[in-house]
Amino acid sequence: MIKMILEKDVEKIKAYDEIGIDRIFLDLEINGKMERQGGLDTVISDHTIDDVVRARKVTNNADLLVRINPIHERSGEEVLSVIDAGADIIMLPMFKTKKEVETFIQLVNGAAKTSLLLETSEALARVDEILEVEGIDEIHVGLNDLHLALGLTFMFELMSGSLLEYLTDKFKAKGIEFGIGGVSRVGTGMLKADNILNEHVRLGSTRVILSRAFKDMNMDPSSLKAEVLEIDKVVCDAKKKSELELLKSRIELREQVKAIVSKTLNGSNS
């Protein structure tokens, strides 16, 4: 499982790079983000192109992934600056049309790997024509913005239902590698990380974002490495499970999500 973490602090990036985190994630996306996520318990980054340059200088083992803004009138300049700064992978968020994806692929022009962040209802509805575009190296399903776009209560409702299976079957049919949302440290979070990672394995996901729980200010590098190895162990164990065992885990995840949604809705109605 490829693990990525959002970070711009150079010293932390050095530590993440040394302990075996696969990707350092720099986030330049700002256009429209405050309108979508303002007031929610989400991260709105303040990363800059200079942060990408600094990250490149200290990253020796991990790949550098940079999320740009959705396609706009200056996307060409933005993509070139990210390439010049040393990005290994460039991620396009909030796309809605096949044309936007085609434009993105053309702008990158093979200078870096291309990653699509599928997180709009329009992209969901148009997924078949979007997947016709040549040059898509990978796709990540953004559970946070996609659940907001669909008017859902909790982002993991997408994982507990059949919608993700619908999408991931299409990715696999096209031979495109993919990832899904994020995961907290094993033993923490609203949902059991074990169940989330089991579902990743069942669906064929090979990428996940490590949540803020991995960035505890009090966590030293050795403790962080142990937490990352715990993720690897859960994934390794999941790959050894039978289909029946993975389906049982899926049912457990569905029940956990159902309880969280029910509690949230009842709380909002009280």
CA distance 200 to 25: 20
C-beta separation of 183 from 155 below 8 A: no
* E-strand stretches of the chain: 2-6, 23-27, 63-67, 89-92, 113-118, 138-141, 177-183, 207-210
Question: HSE of 135 in the Cβ direction (CA atoms, 13 Å)?
Answer: 19
In this predicted structure, what is the pLDDT of residue 33?
59
pLDDT single digits (tens) 199-253: 999 999 999 999 988 887 567 888 889 999 999 999 999 999 999 999 999 999 9
| Domain over 2-269 is classified CATH 3.20.20.60 | yes
For the cut 70, the answer to whether the pLDDT of residue 152 exceeds it is yes
Tell me the CA distances in angstroms from 187 to 6, 50, 139, 172, one per residue in order: 21, 36, 27, 30
How do residues 32-81 score in pLDDT, each as one tens digit?
A: 655 644 445 455 678 999 999 999 999 999 999 999 999 999 999 999 99
For residues 250-263, give the mean pLDDT. 95
pLDDT of residue 23: 98
Domain boundaries, the chain: 2-269
pLDDT of residue 193: 94
Q: What is the pLDDT of residues 161-192, one digit of tens each?
A: 899 999 999 999 999 999 999 999 998 878 99
Q: What is the pLDDT of residue 34?
A: 53
Supply the pLDDT for residue 219: 72
